Structure 1
């Protein structure tokens, strides 16, 4: 399975902060935002990853992440020249997907919690149709909402419904079979001129090939689309790391624990940040801490 991180868009809700910088390059506590969704793909065992960015910032992502060789993975890059919706990622990345199964994660979604690795490792083995996740929220009217039966079969999907049929929102993490590009090509742009991810999921639903996996309540999810939610996510990451002694979204650690790099390689990566708590943490992990 391959993975795509969509890190494009205008990010106007965070103006003026994002006038000159891509949102996914902003810090969520002590790491660039994009580290968090990338860590999810690595947890799932995905080592071939495409980062899709806007034309003004793709070089910044390349400087930040490089080829991926240092993590035992491969990063490729592509440009979404015009914001045409989330599902457009599969059109932009058609050459990359190339008939493979593919996971898509949004670059501004932050997930963490003890059960996260288990959830994504199970989803990566899903090979027929599509799988979305369900996360309980207090006010589902602000989200895409999924209704499902006891077996996890999706019954309906609604975008910001006035009368939600469940309290489960669909976060920005999706797993698709090897038909995802052709399914995307059959979509029609919405009224706002975009290829909507909800429409893609509904296309799978129409063929009875859409499943939902509920995320455990020990897991936290943040869509960092506003100043308040970005601050809240940063504070929660800081609290979690302080309370547990475990870092969130640490690409080097995930790569090491997944067996992508050796202990010696992890130590080398830690020395790069030796004057920071981040680098000291990597050294601690390499030493068995």
Structure 2
């Protein structure tokens, strides 16, 4: 079985952060969103993974993945020339997948659970396709399934009157028969080749398709608030105090805090769960719960909580408490300290802000 992760799209809802990097490489707990999908596949026994990317971001993915070096497996990059939908991205990967079965994963989704039960069900029931679904309160915003028991009868994309509350959560398994279904597709009303239409083709052809009712936590990280919530979710896993850097005697650090190699904490208060990356500097500051600070970031005379601070960012003397914020790589925000007030920031890479007194 091959793994296929789709990383197309412009990430327009995450601008300005996505002007300089694809949304799939934005960090959750100091690790790119894409890596969560890759590691889930590896845990399920898949060791040959293709990642479909737009040509403009090929270099960024190359640098992040290093040919699979972080995991010691084969990770191949596959270019989709234009964003023509999920089914078209799958078609672009046909030479990579060949006649093998395929586990398909949307790269901006994060699912906190094992993929092994899906693979086992797919193989045990000899299915042509398997769709992972989650119960949601707003199914009209998703692709939704209509079922007879566990047999898939129909899929509908963003229906006004949903046939169920079971939304497709971005994980699919297919045999190579899906490529024949895709070849017969026409563009949808929005001009894209929809994977839901390909699934419907397989159903209409009488092939056996099933569903996996996922009990797992799931988040589409396509918007700033979703990325922050995902960061909070995984930070809840931090246990104990793990210190590989240094903390001076005038600092107070609780448990559920990770401090990376060569990171420095001086005269500061750290309240977990918090992760501080390698070579980061925290000085005269308060870092509150559910915050991740990336490598080489520098935070001086600031208060930060519920936020993601990316690599090489600098926060210096910001006179407001920074809360529920995304601070891009190499961004700079500075000012003068004063009574803490709340600020919300979505700052792109290389940007600079100054807060006057």
TM class by shorter chain equals: 0.7 to 0.9
Matches within 5 A, 1:13-162: 13-113=13-113, 116-123=114-121, 125=123, 127-150=126-149, 152-162=150-160
Residue segments in structure 1 that go unaligned for 5+ positions in a row: 246-272, 281-289
2:173 aligned to which of 172, 175, 198: 175
1:93-149 per-residue CA deviation (whole Å, 9 max, x = no partner) reads 121011211111011000104xx2442342463643100011011121111111212
Matches within 5 A, 1:116-265: 116-123=114-121, 125=123, 127-150=126-149, 152-208=150-206, 209-216=208-215, 219-239=216-236, 241-242=237-238
- Structure 1: distance between partners of 2:175 and 2:63: 31
SS at match of 2:117: helix
Give structure 1 regions of 4+ aligned residues with deviation exceeding 3 angstroms: 273-280
Relative distance call for 1:120 and 1:211 in structure 2 (3 A) is closer
Structure having the larger proportion of residues in strand: 2
- Structure 2: distance between partners of 1:22 and 1:193: 22
Relative distance call for 1:227 and 1:279 in structure 2 (3 A) is closer
Check whether the contact 1:43–1:120 (CA below 8 A) recurs between aligned residues: no
SS at match of 1:56: helix
Relative distance call for 1:29 and 1:71 in structure 2 (3 A) is closer
- Structure 2: distance between partners of 1:43 and 1:275: 30
TM (normalized to structure 1)?
Answer: 0.79
Shift of 1:71: 2.0
- Structure 2: distance between partners of 1:279 and 1:123: 39
Q: What count of residue pairs does the alignment treat as equivalent? A: 247
Shift of 1:57: 1.4
Which protein, 1 or 2, shows the higher relative CO under an 8 Å CA cutoff with sep ≥ 6? 1
Q: Which moved more, 1:93-102 or 1:67-76?
A: 67-76
Residue segments in structure 2 that go unaligned for 5+ positions in a row: 242-259, 264-274, 279-357
Alpha-carbon RMSD across the aligned residues, in angstroms, is: 2.3
Structure having the larger proportion of residues in helix: 1
Check whether the contact 1:141–1:163 (CA below 8 A) recurs between aligned residues: yes
